[in-house]
């Protein structure tokens, strides 16, 4: 089955990408139809597609670092700033889909928390938690071993597919939002503990059930 790409950008951006993507075996999805990945020029597209479809944002040559950070804060899966080669975009699409289509999908439990990697739904005490694509990926990583401290380098590598040496506050911003959303439902549990200078863990003492 071919991978479908939705070009949710203006015609001046979308048209030059259509044929190169088709040449690499991708199908171009029509608006309103299923897509495996969305290519957008607006970070707000993340809010429209939520956790259902990964979003790659194409910035503009004039974008500042703050623009890139804002796109990631909104939950985009990757960000690419022109000028770039079509081959780089293709490889970034494939990398996003590799993270999305993990062969080890499972249901994870920690206390009142349930993380279903197949349906990509997280609940606390049976109440769904609305998460962005990246927030869900971070939660699933932490829930895989909820009392273990995952280093910042591990999380940037495995959740963002970024170099472990990269200096960024994106992880901290996502962890803070994730903690806030979980504790809004269960304020008695200190979800997403920050081990200063090391990284993050989901829970201090909760056992898997």
Residue extents of the structural domains in the chain: 4-100, 107-201
Homologous superfamily of 4-100: Cobalamin-binding domain (3.40.50.280)
Q: Cβ neighbours of residue 80 under 8 Å, at least 6 residues apart?
A: 56, 57, 58, 59, 88, 89, 92
pLDDT tens, 83-135? 888 888 988 888 888 776 655 557 888 888 999 988 889 999 999 999 988 89
Q: Cβ neighbours of residue 10 under 8 Å, at least 6 residues apart?
A: 41
pLDDT tens, 142-178? 998 888 889 988 898 888 877 655 667 889 999 999 9
Q: How far apart (Å, rounded) are the C-alpha atoms in residues 142 and 188?
A: 19
- The reply to whether 4-100 and 107-201 are identical in fold is no
- For residue 136, pLDDT beyond 90: yes
CATH of domain 107-201: 1.10.10.10
Residue 57 · residue 77 · CB < 8 Å: no
Closest CA to 33 of 52, 11, 19, 58: 52
pLDDT tens, 43-91? 777 777 755 688 898 988 888 888 888 888 777 888 888 888 888 898 8
Instruction: Give the pLDDT confidence score for residue 209 in this predicted structure.
Output: 39
């Amino acid at each position: 089955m071919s991978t479908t790409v939705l070009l949710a950008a203006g015609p001046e951006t979308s048209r030059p990408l259509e044929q190169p993507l088709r040449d690499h075996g991708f199908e171009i999805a029509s608006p309103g139809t299923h897509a495996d990945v969305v290519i957008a020029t607006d970070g707000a597209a993340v809010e429209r597609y939520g956790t259902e479809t990964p979003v790659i944002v194409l910035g503009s040559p004039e974008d500042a670092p703050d623009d890139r950070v804002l796109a990631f804060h909104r939950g985009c899966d990757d960000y690419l700033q022109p000028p770039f080669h079509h081959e780089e975009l293709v490889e970034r699409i494939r990398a996003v889909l590799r993270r999305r289509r993990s062969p080890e999908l499972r249901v994870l439990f920690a206390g009142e928390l349930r993380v279903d990697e197949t349906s990509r739904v997280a609940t606390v005490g049976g109440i769904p938690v609305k998460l962005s694509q990246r927030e869900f990926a971070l939660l699933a990583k932490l829930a895989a071993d909820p009392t273990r401290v995952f280093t910042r380098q591990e999380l940037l590598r495995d959740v963002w597919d970024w170099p472990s040496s990269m200096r960024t506050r994106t992880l901290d911003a996502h962890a803070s939002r994730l903690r806030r959303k979980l504790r809004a439902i269960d304020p008695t549990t200190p979800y997403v503990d920050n081990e200063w200078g090391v990284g993050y863990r989901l829970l201090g003492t909760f056992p898997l059930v």
